[in-house]
Amino acid sequence: MSWFLLVLAGVFETGFAVLLKQSHSFTRLWPTVGFAVCALVSFALLNLALRHLEVGPAYATWTGIGAAGTALVGIAFLGESASVVKLVSIGLVLVGVVGLNLSGVTG
């Protein structure tokens, strides 16, 4: 259950990062509200997951999902550029998170 909460927290992190951009420096109401809701939910889920997971691998997983997810949403929906280097780099972030988790995380 902790891993499910952590992955869900990472998805909400993706949401708050994308909505932060869409808020245009907090000048657009609904993206700003969405950002705040996603941020609060993301941190709350991370907090719940940390009750049973080691902080290092859990935090890396949370930020890795957020970073990779945000980059992929930017490419898929926001017209950001996609290059081989960018896609390989996203893959390397995910490989690093998996490697950190295989290094002995419990939960």
Q: What is the pLDDT of residues 31-85, one digit of tens each?
A: 999 999 999 999 999 999 999 999 989 999 999 999 999 999 999 999 999 999 9
Domain, as residue range, for 12:
2-102
> Is residue 107 included in any domain, yes or no?
no
Residue 1 Cα distances to 4, 34, 95, 107, angstroms: 5, 25, 22, 9
pTM of the model: 0.90
> Is residue 27 included in any domain, yes or no?
yes
**Number of structural domains in the chain:** 1
Mean pLDDT of 79-92: 96
Q: Measured between alpha carbons, how far is 35 from 18 in angstroms, rounded to an integer? A: 8
> Is residue 31 included in any domain, yes or no?
yes
Q: Is the pLDDT of residue 105 over 60?
A: no
Q: What is the pLDDT of residue 101?
A: 82
Q: Is the pLDDT of residue 106 over 70?
A: no
Q: How many CB atoms lie within 10 A of CB 83?
A: 9
Q: What is the pLDDT of residues 9-27, one digit of tens each?
A: 999 999 999 999 999 999 9
> Is residue 83 included in any domain, yes or no?
yes
> Is residue 70 included in any domain, yes or no?
yes
Of 71, 8, 12, residue with least CA distance to 40: 12
